[in-house]
Amino acid sequence: MAPTIFFVPGLWEGPSVFGNVSSLLSKDGIKSEFATLRSTGTTSPGNPSMHDDINGIRADLEPIVSRGDDVVLVLHSAAGFLGSAAVEGLVAKHRRERRENGGVIGIVFITAGVLD
């Protein structure tokens, strides 16, 4: 079974930026899901920080991993460092060591920042 593709947009864009790609994947039977960054979109109530975005990505990702799906993250721009920070404990290799199914099996960085 193909992994679920989990898209995380960069700053100043919402998940709709990946809408066309998601539709094409769906036609091939590949599931895709999206994170919505708390600091982007049409409103940013409460002046959210990057930590709010990291926690939000994790909150969107955990249910997918918990249902046993393998996941490939697609991280655009600032989502590179935000998404990387959100996967702690959700990597498939580490979950399998704990006898848990699912987890992040790969990350695609698209013009993204990566922390060392």
Give tens-digit pLDDT for 86-103: 999 999 999 999 999 999
Q: What is the distance, to the nearest Å, from the Cα of residue 106 to the centroid of all Cα atoms in its chain?
A: 11
Query: How do beta strands 32-34 and 70-76 pair?
Result: unpaired
Bigger pLDDT: 82 vs 42: 82
pTM of full prediction above 0.85:
yes
What lies within 8 Å, CB to CB, of 97 at 6+ separation is none
φ, ψ at 66 (rounded to 5°)? -65, -30
In a domain, 116, yes or no: no
Percent of the chain with pLDDT over 90: 69
DSSP-derived secondary structure letter, 42: S
CATH number where 79 lies: 3.40.50.1820
Would you say residue 58 lies in a domain?
A: yes
In a domain, 16, yes or no: yes
Cβ neighbours around 106 below 10 Å, total: 12
State which residues form the domain around 29.
4-110
Number of domains, the chain:
1
- Spatial distance between the Cα atoms of 106 and 114, rounded to a whole number of angstroms: 14
Residues 115 and 3: their CA atoms lie apart, in Å, by 25
Chain segment 12-68, per-residue pLDDT in tens: 777 788 889 999 999 999 999 999 888 875 455 677 888 999 999 999 999 999 999
